[in-house]
Structure 1
Amino acid sequence: MQMNDSQRIEAPKHKVWEALNDPEVLKASIPGCEDLIKHSDTELEAKVRLKVGPVKATFGGKVTLNDLDPPNGYTIEGEGSGGVAGFARGAAKVHLEEDGPDATILHYEVDAKVGGKLAQLGARLIDSTAKRLAGEFFTAFGEQVAPGKPAATNEVEADTAPADASPSDSEEKKGWIKGLFTGKKKQDVAGDEGKIDEPAE
């Protein structure tokens, strides 16, 4: 899956850069993030609990920051597994652009993949989940960086995607937040490990 977009954040560029490197800000912004540990300036470890359609899973893994160009941007890469739910891996290029003295445009380009049960959910569901998670992240991130002035988002509700969404090309599909902050942890699928919820009759 590939996704690119930009968000305007009501804060100076240097403040946005500092927030992008602050594990406490990121933990509070990433949907479902239960833990985020910074081992060094370029290495982090996270545990994230997410729901994608009928699949619920707890992911954990390592994230690496590359191509650091403070305060202009970096490349963030991650790979991990959610047990039988599947795996996710990907990278995102982040670039910050000044928009006057008190605002910043955050540009991002994501290239990611998923496998296992996540890949079987279909392209439309995975894509809509990715957009929803991105919207939730930027809303929370904007509130963390500039309280009272959250970033504008375009949130998409993933659970309303058609159940018969085509699974073609699904290996290339994933939410960027999952791919960037994921790894190997136990799966919890509707209370039964390794299963997908059955639709009510």
Structure 2
Amino acid sequence: MDMEGEERIAAPRAVVWQALNDADILRQCIPGCQSLEWTSPTELAAAVKLKIGPVSASFSGAVTLSDVVAPESYTITGEGKGGIAGFAKGGAQVTLLDEGPETLLRYTAQAQVGGKLAQLGSRLIGSSSQKLATQFFADFNKAVVARAEQSVQS
């Protein structure tokens, strides 16, 4: 399933880029994220606990950044295993555009699930994936704006 969207963030592109590469900010914004830590300059280890329909699962896996063009864009991909619940794979191409004092964040994301999760049906998986992506980017927007306001006050 494919998703796309955009968020207008009331912060300069440099601040948004920094937040996109900050494990603490990402951990706060990823729905169900239990841990997120850098393991190399382009890889993170993640643990996420989610409930999709009637299935609750804890996923552990890796997140990789590629095609990095600082401070404009990157591709983020991840794969997690959830035991008997199955697996989840996904990725997003994220692009940042200057819009005066604000930044327009555009994303195109893909998600794929297998195992017990895939048995839930594409409609439920699609709506859940869209909801999780929307929640992440809305929370990310709030976190970046709060950080920008904090740095102005300092």
TM-score by length of 1: 0.71
Amino acid at match of 2:112: K
- Partner in structure 1 of residue 116 of structure 2: 117
**Separation (CA, whole Å) in 2 of partners of 1:79 and 1:38:** 15
Q: Which residue of 2 aligns with 1:99?
A: 99
Provide the rounded CA distance (Å) in 1 between the counterparts of 2:128 and 2:65: 24
Larger fraction in strand:
2
Alignment of 1:57-96 (within 5 A): 57-96=57-96
CA offset at residue 90 of structure 1?
2.2
The structure having more radius of gyration, on CA atoms, is: 1
Which amino acid is the alignment partner of residue 65 of structure 1? L
What's the CA shift string for 1:130-153, capped at 9, x where partnerless?
Answer: 12112221222112111299xxxx
Aligned counterparts of 1:33 and 1:20: Cα–Cα separation in 2? 15
Change in 2 beyond 3 A, CA 1:148/1:70: closer
Provide the secondary structure at the position in 2 that maps to 1:78: strand
Name the aligned partner's letter for residue 146 of structure 1: V
List structure 1 runs of 4+ shifted beyond 4 angstroms.
none
Corresponding residue for 1:140? 139
1:37 matched residue in structure 2? 37
One-letter code aligned to 2:26: L
Q: Which runs of 5+ in 2 are unaligned?
A: 149-154
Q: Distance in 1 between matches of 2:25 and 2:9?
A: 14
Cα RMSD, aligned residues only: 1.5
How big is each residue's C-alpha offset from its partner over 1:104-142, in whole Å with a ceiling of 9 and x where there is no partner? 111111122111111111111111111211222122211
SS of corresponding position for 1:131: helix
SS at match of 1:39: strand
Tell me the distance in 2 between the aligned counterparts of 1:144 and 1:40.
24
Please list, as runs of the form range in 1=range in 2, the aligned pairs for 1:19-38 lying within 5 A after superposition: 19-38=19-38
CA distance in 2, matches of 1:59, 1:87: 8
Percent pairwise identity: 53
Tell me which residue corresponds to 1:176: none
Higher helix share: 2
- 1:6-65 Cα offsets, whole Å, 9 max, x none, are 111111111000000000000011111010011122010010000000000010101110
Supply the AA of the counterpart residue of 2:118.
A
What TM-score, normalized to structure 2? 0.91
Give the distance between the partners of 1:111 and 1:22, measured in 2 at CA. Answer: 22
SS, match of residue 146 in structure 1: helix
Residues 111 and 129 in structure 2, CA contact (< 8 A), matched pair in contact too: no
